[in-house]
Amino acid sequence: MRIVMKFGGTLIDSEDKIKNAIQIIKNHKKKFFNNELVIIVSAVNPVTDILLDACNAIKKKDKVYVKKAVNDINSIHTSLLDKIISKTDLKKQARKTIKCLIKELEMIMEGAVFLGEVTPKLQDYIASFGERLSIVLITFALRDIGIKSEYLTGKEVGILTDSNFSEARPLMDTTKLRVLHKIEPLFKEKIVPIVAGFIASDQNGNTTTLGRGGSDYSATIIAASINAIEVWLWNEFDGMMTADPRIVGKPKVLAELSFSEAVEMSMFGLKYMHPRALEPVIDSRTAVIIKNAYNQKNKGTKIIQNPSRESEKTVKSITSIRNTALIDVSGWGMIGAPGTAAKIFDSLAKNKVNIMMISQSPSESSISMVVRQNDLDKAITTLELNFLGRLIKQINVNDNVSVIAVVGSGMRGIKGVAAKIFTSIAKKNINVIMITQGSSELNLAFIVNDENCEAAVRILHEDFGLAK
Ligand code: ASP
Ligand code: MG
């Protein structure tokens, strides 16, 4: 049985947590005799954040911050190392490896801060140090308890991507061949490969990264490459839930989800996974399992191509995203002018504004879109600079809304779901600002003022009987 397991950055950021992760690896290796296990790890939390903040500091030539960042990263890793590795010779080797990496990081940062410049390529290179360091910790911790293991960066394991730095996409055909070629000999020697999540390399050998939270993506890329039957994403909660536990007192854990349902839900609530993470395994028989590393008895959530009948409820989950903003652009100039939407979305995309929801009135005189609050400034500036006074007459903004989405593949072709949703919402006297439903009918999403978010989620959770 081939299994890929991923440990995120918050699962390895203390002595106890690393020991727990090591125990999980040990148990699973033993439990199923002959298990072929690949482990993916993220950077120790919050190392990636520190590295990316340091990139911003470099641009401001802030030498003090950059120096502190290197020191902090050094002490995070050396103090963990001291606690988790007991054998003197192993400790020595691990220390030496970490020291080399820190030295390299320091040199790069010093050079860059001197110039005050970070290219996207350099930023990915700097960001890669988080995972390059964490794989050393985990590998040596395993060796310390007598488990043969070897660490590999994304490049070393064979993940090849395009050169779209910070959001690179894997070139799967080549990747599959390379990864299989690399991993199989390790399996033969009963070695557990510890692979750096998040990082890969392009055709020219430059380090690339797969986007924030990209270790999930690395895990499924590896799983697809070695034909793993399962990918286990370890977390600190029991699985995907019927609603955000911060809003609904006791939501239920969903036992099974289809890939498409999971994709709809991945953007919402607690951060469960990288939005593209399911892509590599969507056409395979690989199951993705989300489990709690601190409550292993709970079966967690299993994401598979064809969930069993039993789990085919009409509505499975009420999900919500807060901190979003609604932008409404309007103008007579937009009516009957083909390409209007394309122009608007294209210039927003060029400025890296991600649009979460779109709706256009049939008269074509207005387009509404939802963006994250962080992107609002950029979005408005882009629209003003490029279109205001010409294509667009007016821009209206509501800067504090929530997206609520009702998700479930059982909604397809069932009449009355929308009526039921909006009756519940009306009962609570909540105003609905915008609505979208894709023709897949998997997901009906709408916008309310953020102050109404919790009440809306709670009443839907109750009225659809999800707590039972
Ligand atoms: N270390 C990366 C990040 O923080 C990747 C990951 O955590 O999955 O975004
Ligand atoms: Mg992380």
Sequence ranges of the domains in the chain: 3-235, 317-463
Instruction: Give the integer Cα–Cα distance in Å for 369 and 324.
Output: 10
Ligand 1 near 130 CB (within 6 A)? yes
CB-side neighbour CA atoms (13 Å) of 54: 33
Homologous superfamily of the 317-463 domain (CATH): VC0802-like (3.30.2130.10)
Q: Which residues lie below 8 Å from residue 102, measured CB to CB, with a gap of 6+? A: 70, 73, 74, 77, 133
**Beta carbons of 160 and 203 less than 8 angstroms apart:** yes
Residue with CA at minimum distance from ligand 1 atom 8: 213
Distance (angstroms) between ligand 2 centre and the Cα of 182 equals: 25
Length of the chain: 468
Distance (angstroms) between ligand 1 centre and the Cα of 458 equals: 31
Gyration radius of the chain's alpha carbons: 24
> What is the atom index within ligand 1 of the atom nearest the CA of 43?
1
Residue with CA at minimum distance from ligand 1 atom 2: 213
- Exposed, middle or buried by CB within 10 Å (0-12, 13-18, 19+), for 360? middle
Three-state DSSP at 356 gives strand
Ligand 1 near 277 CB (within 6 A)? no
Distance (angstroms) between ligand 1 centre and the Cα of 319 equals: 23
Predicted confidence at residue 295, as pLDDT, reads 97
**Beta carbons of 232 and 4 less than 8 angstroms apart:** yes
**Beta carbons of 152 and 182 less than 8 angstroms apart:** yes
Ligand 1 near 300 CB (within 6 A)? no
Judged by its nearest atom, the ligand closest to the C-alpha of residue 198 is 1
Judged by its nearest atom, the ligand closest to the C-alpha of residue 216 is 1
Instruction: Give the integer Cα–Cα distance in Å for 256 and 316.
Output: 10
- β-pairing, 287-292 vs 301-304, is antiparallel
Predicted confidence at residue 352, as pLDDT, reads 87
Ligand 1 near 42 CB (within 6 A)? yes
| 317-463 and 3-235 share a CATH fold | no
> What is the atom index within ligand 1 of the atom nearest the CA of 130?
1
Distance (angstroms) between ligand 2 centre and the Cα of 223 equals: 20
**Beta carbons of 3 and 36 less than 8 angstroms apart:** yes
pLDDT means per 10 residues, the chain with 468 residues, are 96 98 93 81 98 98 98 98 98 98 98 96 98 98 97 98 97 98 95 98 98 96 96 93 91 92 77 82 92 96 85 83 95 88 93 91 91 96 93 95 92 89 96 88 92 97 92
Q: At what angle do helices 88-115 and 129-144 cross, to 10 degrees?
A: 180
- Using alpha carbons, select from 10, 21, 264 the residue that is nearest to residue 142: 21
Q: Which two tokens stand for residue 73?
A: 């990263």
Distance (angstroms) between ligand 1 centre and the Cα of 403 equals: 25
Distance (angstroms) between ligand 2 centre and the Cα of 43 equals: 6
> What is the atom index within ligand 1 of the atom nearest the CA of 9?
7
Between CA 127 and CA 137, with CA 133 as vertex, the angle to 5 degrees is: 150
> What is the atom index within ligand 1 of the atom nearest the CA of 131?
1
Predicted confidence at residue 310, as pLDDT, reads 62
Instruction: Give the integer Cα–Cα distance in Å for 238 and 296.
Output: 8
Instruction: Give the integer Cα–Cα distance in Å for 383 and 428.
Output: 35
Ligand 1 near 218 CB (within 6 A)? no
> What is the atom index within ligand 1 of the atom nearest the CA of 211?
9
- Exposed, middle or buried by CB within 10 Å (0-12, 13-18, 19+), for 423? exposed
Ligand 1 near 213 CB (within 6 A)? yes
Give CA separation, 41 vs 112, 136, 195, 318, 444, in Å: 27, 10, 6, 30, 35
Predicted confidence at residue 267, as pLDDT, reads 73
Distance (angstroms) between ligand 2 centre and the Cα of 41 equals: 9
> What is the atom index within ligand 1 of the atom nearest the CA of 218?
8
Three-state DSSP at 235 gives strand
Instruction: Give the integer Cα–Cα distance in Å for 346 and 102.
Output: 40
Exposure b/e, 83-99, CB count within 10 A at least 16 = b: ebbeeeebbeebbebbe
> What is the atom index within ligand 1 of the atom nearest the CA of 213?
8
From 215, 234, 274, the mutation candidate for ligand 1 (largest count of ligand atoms within 8 A of CB) is: 215
The whole model's pTM is what?
0.91
Ligand 1 near 9 CB (within 6 A)? yes
Determine whether domain 3-235 maps to CATH 3.40.50.300. Answer: no
Q: What is the DSSP string of 187-232?
A: HHTT-EEEEESSEEE-TTS-EEE--TTTHHHHHHHHHHHHT-SEEE
From 42, 208, 210, 220, the mutation candidate for ligand 1 (largest count of ligand atoms within 8 A of CB) is: 42
Ligand 1 near 154 CB (within 6 A)? no
Ligand 1 near 48 CB (within 6 A)? yes
Judged by its nearest atom, the ligand closest to the C-alpha of residue 167 is 1
**Beta carbons of 220 and 280 less than 8 angstroms apart:** yes
> What is the atom index within ligand 1 of the atom nearest the CA of 198?
5
